[in-house]
């Protein structure tokens, strides 16, 4: 497991100046043989200012940036899964999710060196290409077990897994769903929600993530009031005790008579 780094601005830095921060990310022991449980993140250049290039929708902007950066990421031996572009009044966040290439999935996982290398190269490319207006923070992250799903092939790869989905437009009176990925039909993903199939157009999905099976990963929290705990306590305590206030009463008996004086 890797702990997410935190980014801080030094006291002598001025907003609007480009700086470079790569936080220390401490590895700890992993409980799974499938790589880090949580996402591994690098931060870089949090106060970059780039001229405005016009107004686009958030999803279009993210797709354009992903297409721009994918060859650079690919040249570093990893795959760009997708991008989250999150504009905000104080400055946008550009988050890149990377993974090892398909041929290496069984032999290694994304590490801190991969994130740092992608962060350096992408930062240099963004300086030249200028695709983002205003201040923004660049993050490079591994997918983690609750990995985001960006493309149709991602849904096909994880068929049978559970996912949370947010839709752009409501469908059947809802914009959110959680269900099992059943299959792909053309440009639609079929989910099983509450026992019924629900096809969703890929173009109508705003964002989606896998829902980890924490029990299978051995990370499910124990319920302090579980029946197993009560049974263990009963065995440790030996014989059962009658509930307080419900002890059996002996039937009334006549009092012993005193002998008469002769």
Reported as a single tens digit per residue, the pLDDT across 173-229 is 999 999 999 999 999 999 999 999 999 999 999 999 999 988 877 877 766 555 554
What tens digit of pLDDT does each residue of 94-114 get? Answer: 999 999 998 998 899 999 999
CA distances from 8 to 137, 138, 227, 229, 246 (A): 12, 14, 46, 44, 64
Q: What pairing do the DSSP bridges indicate for beta strands 134-141 and 92-100?
A: parallel
Tell me what pLDDT residue 17 has. 35
Q: How many CA atoms lie within 13 A of 260 on its CB side?
A: 1
Residue 9 pLDDT more than 50?
A: no
pLDDT at residue number 90: 85
Fold of domain 152-210: SH3 type barrels. (2.30.30)
In the predicted structure, residue 56 carries a pLDDT above the cut 80 = no
143-167 pLDDT, tens digit each: 999 999 999 999 999 999 999 999 9
Q: Which residue did the predictor score with more confidence, 56 or 101?
A: 101
Determine the pLDDT at residue 11.
37
CATH code assigned to 1-145: 3.30.300.70
Same fold across 1-145 and 152-210? no
* Residues 6 or more apart whose Cβ sits within 8 Å of residue 36: 1, 2, 30, 109, 110, 142, 144
Extents of the domains making up the chain: 1-145, 152-210
Nearest alpha-carbon partner for 140 in 40, 11, 70: 40
The Cβ-side half-sphere exposure at 35, using a 13 Å CA radius, reads 20
């Amino acid at each position: 497991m890797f702990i997410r780094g935190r980014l801080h601005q030094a006291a002598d830095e001025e907003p609007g100046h480009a700086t470079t921060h790569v936080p220390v990310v401490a590895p700890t022991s992993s409980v799974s043989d499938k790589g880090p449980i949580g996402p591994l993140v690098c931060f870089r250049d949090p106060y970059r200012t780039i001229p405005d290039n016009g107004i686009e929708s958030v999803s279009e902007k993210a797709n354009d940036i992903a297409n721009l950066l994918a060859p650079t990421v690919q040249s570093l031996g990893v795959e760009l899964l997708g991008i989250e572009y999150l504009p905000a009044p104080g400055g946008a966040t550009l988050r890149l999710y990377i993974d090892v290439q398909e041929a290496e999935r069984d032999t290694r996982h994304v590490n801190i060196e991969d994130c740092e290398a992608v962060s350096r190269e992408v930062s240099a490319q963004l300086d030249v290409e200028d695709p983002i207006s205003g201040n923004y923070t660049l993050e490079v992250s591994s997918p983690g077990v609750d990995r985001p799903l960006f493309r149709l092939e991602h849904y096909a790869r994880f068929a049978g897994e559970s996912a949370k989905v947010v839709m752009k437009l409501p469908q059947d009176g809802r914009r959110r769903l959680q269900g099992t990925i059943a299959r792909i039909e053309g440009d639609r993903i079929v989910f099983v929600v509450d026992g019924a199939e629900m096809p969703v157009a890929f173009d109508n999905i705003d964002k989606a993530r896998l829902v980890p099976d924490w029990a299978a990963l051995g990370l499910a929290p124990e319920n302090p009031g579980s029946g197993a705990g009560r049974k263990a306590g009963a065995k440790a305590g030996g014989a059962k005790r009658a509930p307080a206030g419900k002890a059996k009463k002996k039937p009334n008996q006549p009092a012993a008579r005193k002998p008469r004086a002769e």
